[in-house]
Amino acid sequence: MADLVVKDDLKSLAEDLNELINQFQGATDFQNDYDGIWGQSDANQAMGDFANNWSIHRDAMVSDMQSLHDKVTNVNDSWDQTDQQLHDSLTAG
């Protein structure tokens, strides 16, 4: 029973990471939607600088999440293969 919990957790983690990656990548679509609404030019510039700076950090986070997603997917695949091998060894012969 424990292996089913691990399997479900790995699958859920991979799905959650996919959703986070999509959300972070999609944030660039509306990053500059509010240009100029802050009134004062200094505030507008500061918010624009923040958005540009955040893009750099967001890209790094997406890269790290993608790397983690790939590792979780590999563990999940290995888990499936090991589970199948165990099943085959117990049912063979």
Per the structure, the complete domain to which residue 61 belongs is given by 52-93
Structure token digits, residue 87: 């099943």
In a domain, 66, yes or no: yes
Structure token digits, residue 38: 């802050």
Residue written as tokens 């967001």?
58
pTM here?
A: 0.71
In a domain, 14, yes or no: no
In a domain, 45, yes or no: no
Number of domains observed in the structure of the chain: 1
What 8-state DSSP symbol labels residue 39?
Answer: S
Q: Please give the single-letter amino acid code of residue 1.
A: M
In a domain, 33, yes or no: no
In a domain, 69, yes or no: yes
In a domain, 20, yes or no: no
pLDDT in tens, 30-80: 666 666 666 778 887 887 788 778 888 888 999 999 999 999 999 999 988
In a domain, 58, yes or no: yes
User: Could you tell me which of 25, 11, 8, 6 has the C-alpha nearest to residue 66?
Assistant: 25
